[in-house]
Structure 1
């Protein structure tokens, strides 16, 4: 059990601000609460890492666009996104590399009809690099590594957000910033592992990363879609598309 002494009465939901939260799980380092309104499972704010400690963890990541395994991982969001955008040929090409030296193929000409943003791209923006290689104009933004706030003043046909939303320490503030970036008819492509039930959560490795503080279920994304005027599509077990209505 955590020695923090926290209780569900001391916390409001960090997504919807409801006080209808209850204890969900505790371990040696942290407590976890579940909101009965939006179904978010979250770590209370006072148990979050400092910004410096959080960035130190991210600095350890080595996500390289020449890593075939990582591109294969990203293809689970990249391929269906390109297909949904009507770019079936590019969807088939996503992640293709030469078999001998694992070099990225020459870039296509830019497709001026589409523009996107890789939100929370991290130190190695592999997804944006691959989309740009395929001729899909894709900007990058990351609060630590690419903090160009001008990118947040534009509107995009699509926004990718892979392995990011679980790091939102205040999704009440962060999600509206993310959702307002999209044009009507556009797509926000999210990748994050979903909460299934309380028993599985107790043994879930995903919660053990101390930078992971917000855990979503299908019900959470359905709540988000309803609140912000999106429709939700569960593309894969941990790939979610939010379609702007």
Structure 2
């Protein structure tokens, strides 16, 4: 089966298919994406996100977001202006960064959809476990690039697919809201096409530099 890659629009073919799921692989950008017929309706997507437990007092969740906080503190001093993009129903990451004296705004297309926030210039934007949910990844990355100030950073956290991973048994694909999975080559494609100067991959954290 053929379909068009939602990132680079190249014709793509089946990568994995079973009775429940169908993923295609793009030969150009190496993106792995879910069959468009399997995308959740926004009401089902919202219901699933509401089941996510996000609590600013949860030390386990703080550990989960700490690699992003570490990157922000590495590149930016206190007072720097940042955006938590795709914060979900509870902007935990924003709250933690605010406590570290960063000037934070937060946006989520379902829960905090104030599109005027995308018109501001940010020194950094953080996306924690968000980019795998992008239905239109190219549109999203272009928008995020535009919202960064010169020399700004887009700091993302996701689980990249590697050839050593057995996709059949991989937990990450089984979340129905995970619709686009990235590989190292995909990150390089985004860097080049969206005019980022650099894209650094460190474990599950990807830092794009404008």
Q: TM-score range by the shorter chain?
A: over 0.9
- In structure 1, stretches of 5+ residues that fail to align are 1-6, 91-110
- Structure 1 residue matching 2:4: 3-state secondary structure: coil
Q: Is 2:8 the counterpart of 1:41? A: no
Tell me how far apart the structure 2 counterparts of residues 137 and 27 of structure 1 sit (CA, whole Å). 46
Structure number, greater radius of gyration: 1
1:234 to 187, 201, 210: 201
What is the match of residue 141 of structure 2? 175
In the alignment of these two chains, the number of paired residues is 209
| Equivalent residue runs for 1:21-40 within 5 Å | 21-40=12-31
The answer as to 2:21 corresponding to 1:54 is no
- The answer to whether the 8 Å contact 1:24/1:198 transfers is no
Q: What's the offset of the Cα at 1:27? A: 2.2
Which residue is 1:79 aligned to? 70
* Distance apart, 1:198 and its partner CA: 7.5
Q: CA deviation at 1:81?
A: 2.1
Whole-angstrom CA distance in 2 between matches of 1:52 and 1:214: 19
CA distance in 2, matches of 1:136, 1:168: 26
Greater strand share, 1 or 2? 2
Q: Per the alignment, in what secondary structure is the counterpart of residue 194 of structure 1?
A: coil
Q: CA RMSD in A?
A: 1.3
Q: How does 1:36-185 map to 2 (within 5 A)?
A: 36-85=27-76, 87=77, 111=79, 114-185=80-151
Q: 2:109 and 2:164 mapped to 1: Cα distance? A: 32
State the 1:172 CA deviation.
2.6
Task: Tell whether 2:2 aligns with 1:17.
Answer: no
- The residue matched to 1:54 in structure 2 has which SS? helix
**Alpha-carbon distance in 2 for matches of 1:13, 1:60:** 29
8 Å Cα contact 1:121/1:140 also seen in 2: yes
**TM-score normalised per structure 2:** 0.96
Q: Distance in 2 between matches of 1:173 and 1:30?
A: 25
